Amino acid sequence: MLPKWFNVWNRENPTNIFGPGILVGAVGGAVFLGILIITWGQPYATDSLQTGPRGTGMSVTEFKSDLATPDPDIASLMEDEPYIPDGSEPLAKDIYQNVQVLGDLTEDNFNRLMAAMTNWVSPDQGCAYCHGEGDLETYGDDALYTKVVSRRMIQMTQNINENWDGHVNANKQVGVTCMTCHRGQNVPSEIWFKITPVNEATAGWPSVQNRATSLSQFTSLPSDALEAYLLNYEQINVHDLESRVENQPGDPLIQQTERTYSLMNYFSNSLGKNCVLCHNSRAFYDTEQVTPQWGISSLGISMVQEMNNDYLVPLADVYPENRLGPVHGDAPKAACKTCHKGYQQPLQGSNVIQYWPELATTGAPVYE
């Protein structure tokens, strides 16, 4: 029991105790949270990759929790040491019929690679995906389009590893295999087809934009950027830096600027990075202020142009109708996201070629 005088004084002098109580609770909670962060670590801590000179803001920021999270497809990579040939083994071309590529491999290495390709491309269908349901005597037939396409894809993979080292292995030896794009699927994700015009109500330039499509990354930007720059070899340009400039024949127009924005937006989503990975954002136009990644990306553009024009587009007559584009009936094509899948390096820079020297060159593989 409190003294009578205290109760009387308290009744005559009421005080709001909730405000101080809330303040004390908030301060105490903040202190407790601070202790937890210091003890357990900051769950939203970031790390950054400096891409340009200090003070220019040229850095790519990422959450450390994301950096510590591996691409789930990495778990599917195969480790299978090749058989080192001694020179006395029979070759695949002398054992099997109609071996047009990889014929100079030993039988063991040939079958080892075939088994790996099955896991990379058709784990559910197995060998029958390319060779059909017949017995081994029918494996030399080219009855299925999948076998014809696979043969050409092997050649494309060898060409990439052999001739585009400056892009594929710019940072370290990683290489590419069928797994880089297919990831256990018959058809790789993030392939693309020509889809323009997308706005049937208009003609000319407006017909390729102002519709959210996957090729415009669901923006109103032009949907033909991949077609223009990764297939038709058009020059990537932006509009003149000055206003009210009288354009001369061949000068970049505002349409090229919009199309370039569309391509750059696609790049950013493909690699999971922003503009400053390659550019000084204060001077996009100045090629003297770009980063080394700009050069790597430029090689990648040329590589994809070659892939599409020399390897993928010519297969249009081989594919069945259901594998062709829904609008123009064109062959499926590749672009940055087909390999990168949202990461700066495919499979986060895993060395996928180390066990498969047969795919590293069009010549005789080097076994170590």
Annotated binding site for heme: 114, 127, 130-131, 153, 167, 178, 181-182, 264, 275, 278-279, 336, 339-340
CA-nearest of 190, 233, 227, 236 to 208 is 227
d(CA 333, CA 107): 33
Q: Residue 163: enclosing H or E segment and its boundaries?
A: helix 145-163
Residue 136 and residue 26: Cα distance in Å, rounded?
A: 75
In terms of Cβ atoms closer than 10 Å to its own Cβ (0-12, 13-18, 19+), residue 358 is buried
Element holding 20 (H helix, E strand): helix 18-40
Point out the annotated binding site: 114, 127, 130-131, 153, 167, 178, 181-182, 264, 275, 278-279, 336, 339-340
For residue 6, what are its two tokens? 């205290």
In sequence order, what E strands does the chain have? 46-50, 59-63
Nearest to 106 by CA among 123, 122, 83, 128: 83
Q: What is the DSSP string of 73-126?
A: GGGG----PPP---S-SPBHHHHSSS--SSTTSBHHHHHHHHHHHHHHH-TTTT
Q: Alpha-carbon dihedral of residues 330, 332, 336, 337, nearest 10 degrees? A: 120
Amino acid at the residue 9 = W
What residue has token string 């058809």?
187
Q: Measured in whole angstroms, how far is the alpha carbon of residue 160 from the centre of its chain?
A: 15
The CA distance from 30 to 261, in Å, is 44
